[in-house]
Amino acid sequence: MSWTSRLRRALPRPSRRRIVAGSAALVLVAGLVGWVVWPERDAWTTQDEMITVVTGPERNENVALDARLYLPRDRDGKVPAVLLAHGFGGTKESVSSDAESLAERGYAVLTYTAQGFGRSGGQIHLNSPDYEIRDAQGLLDWLAARPEIQTDAAGDPRVGVVGGSYGGALALMLAGQDPRVDAIVPSITWNDLTNVFLPQSADTSATGVFKKGWAGVFFGNGGAVPTGDDAADLAAGPPVGMTVDPACGRFAADVCKAYLDVATTGDPDRSTLDLLRRSSPAATVGQIKAPTLLVQGAVDTLFPLSEADANARSIAAAGTPVRVAWFTGGHDGGAGPQSDQDRVKFLTVQWLDHYVKGEGEAPSDNFTYSRVAGFSALDRGLVTNGYSADAYPGLAGTGRTRLELQGPAQPIANPPNGNPGAISSLPGTGGRLSQLLSGVAADIPGQFARFETPPVGSAIDVVGSPTVRLRAASPTGEATLFVKLYDVDESGAPTLSAGLVAPVRLTDLPASVDEAEERTIQLPAIVRRIEAGHTVRVVVATTDQAFLSPVAPATYTVQVASALELPTAVGTPIANPQTVWRYVLAGLLVAIAIGLVVVLLVRRRRLRRGQTPTVPEHAETPLVVSGLRKAYGDGFVAVEEISFTVQRGQVVGLLGPNGAGKTTTLRVLMGLTMPTAGEALVFGHKLVPGSPVLSRVGALVEGPGFLPHLTGLENLQAYWKATGRPWADARFDEALEIAGLGDSVHRRTKKYSHGMRQRLAIAQAMLGLPELLVLDEPTDGLDPPQIAEMRRVLKRYATDGRAVLVSSHLLAEVEQTCTHAVVVNKGRIVASGPVEDIVGDSPSVQLEVSDVPAAERVLDELGVRSVLPDGPSGLIVDMNGTPRSEVVASLVRAGVAVDRVVPRRRLEDAFLALVGENSRGSGDR
pLDDT in tens, 354-366: 999 999 888 988 9
Q: Is the peptide bond before 420 cis (omega within 30 degrees of 0)?
A: yes
In terms of Cβ atoms closer than 10 Å to its own Cβ (0-12, 13-18, 19+), residue 583 is middle
Q: Establish how many alpha carbons lie within 13 A of residue 324's alpha carbon, considering only the half-sphere containing its beta carbon.
A: 26
In terms of Cβ atoms closer than 10 Å to its own Cβ (0-12, 13-18, 19+), residue 386 is buried
Q: Classify domain 610-833 by CATH number.
A: 3.40.50.300
Cα–Cα distance, 298 to 395 (Å, whole number): 12
Q: Which residues contact 418 (CB under 8 A, 6 or more apart)?
A: 542, 543, 544, 548, 549, 550
To the nearest 10°, report the CA torsion of 705, 709, 712, 717: -90
Strand locations in 561-598, DSSP E?
A: 564-568, 572-574
In contact, 169 and 127? CB cutoff 8 Å: yes
Cα–Cα distance, 695 to 714 (Å, whole number): 20
CA distances from 784 to 381, 744, 755, 779 (A): 11, 19, 11, 9
Region for residue 856 given its phi and psi (left: phi exceeds 0; alpha: psi -120 to 50; beta: otherwise): alpha
Q: Classify domain 841-905 by CATH number.
A: 3.30.70.100
Which segments in the chain show pLDDT lower than 70? Answer: 1-41, 221-246, 374-382, 428-441, 575-613, 687-691, 702-704, 738-744, 753-755, 781-785, 810, 812, 839-843, 902-925
In contact, 612 and 691? CB cutoff 8 Å: yes
Q: Which residues contact 626 (CB under 8 A, 6 or more apart)?
A: 643, 678, 679, 680, 681
Q: Which residues contact 290 (CB under 8 A, 6 or more apart)?
A: 161, 175, 181, 182, 183, 184, 320, 355
Q: Which amino acid is residue 147, in one-letter code?
A: P
The predicted pLDDT at position 205 comes to 78
Q: How far is it between the farthest Cα atoms of the chain? A: 95
Nearest to 55 by CA among 167, 130, 116: 130
In terms of Cβ atoms closer than 10 Å to its own Cβ (0-12, 13-18, 19+), residue 161 is buried
State pLDDT tens for residues 49-72: 999 999 999 999 999 999 999 999
Identify any residues that bridge with 807 across adjacent strands, giving them in sequence order: 654, 776
In contact, 277 and 128? CB cutoff 8 Å: no
Taking the chain, what is the end-to-end CA distance rounded to the nearest angstrom?
13
Domain boundaries, the chain: 396-572, 610-833, 841-905
CA distances from 37 to 122, 165, 424, 840 (A): 45, 35, 47, 63
Sheet holding 874-878, edge to edge: 866-869, 874-878, 844-849, 898-903
Nearest to 877 by CA among 864, 860, 889: 864
Q: What is the pTM of this model?
A: 0.62
Q: Classify domain 396-572 by CATH number.
A: 2.60.120.260
Q: What angle do CA 808, 810, 811 make, to 5 degrees?
A: 100
841-905 has the same fold as 610-833 = no
Region for residue 649 given its phi and psi (left: phi exceeds 0; alpha: psi -120 to 50; beta: otherwise): left
Give the DSSP letter of residue 755: H
Give the DSSP letter of residue 704: -
In contact, 795 and 645? CB cutoff 8 Å: no
Strand locations in 26-60, DSSP E?
A: 44-55
Per DSSP, the residues of 641-662 read EEEEEE-TT-EEEEE--TTSSH
Q: Which residues contact 292 (CB under 8 A, 6 or more apart)?
A: 172, 175, 183, 184, 185, 186, 311, 315, 320, 321, 322, 323
Cα–Cα distance, 2 to 6 (Å, whole number): 6
Q: What are the backbone dihedrals phi and psi of residue 213, each rounded to the nearest 5 degrees, phi first? A: -60, -55
Cα–Cα distance, 51 to 273 (Å, whole number): 32
Q: Which amino acid is residue 391, in one-letter code?
A: A
Q: Which amino acid is residue 503, in one-letter code?
A: P
Cα–Cα distance, 925 to 922 (Å, whole number): 9
Cα–Cα distance, 196 to 304 (Å, whole number): 8
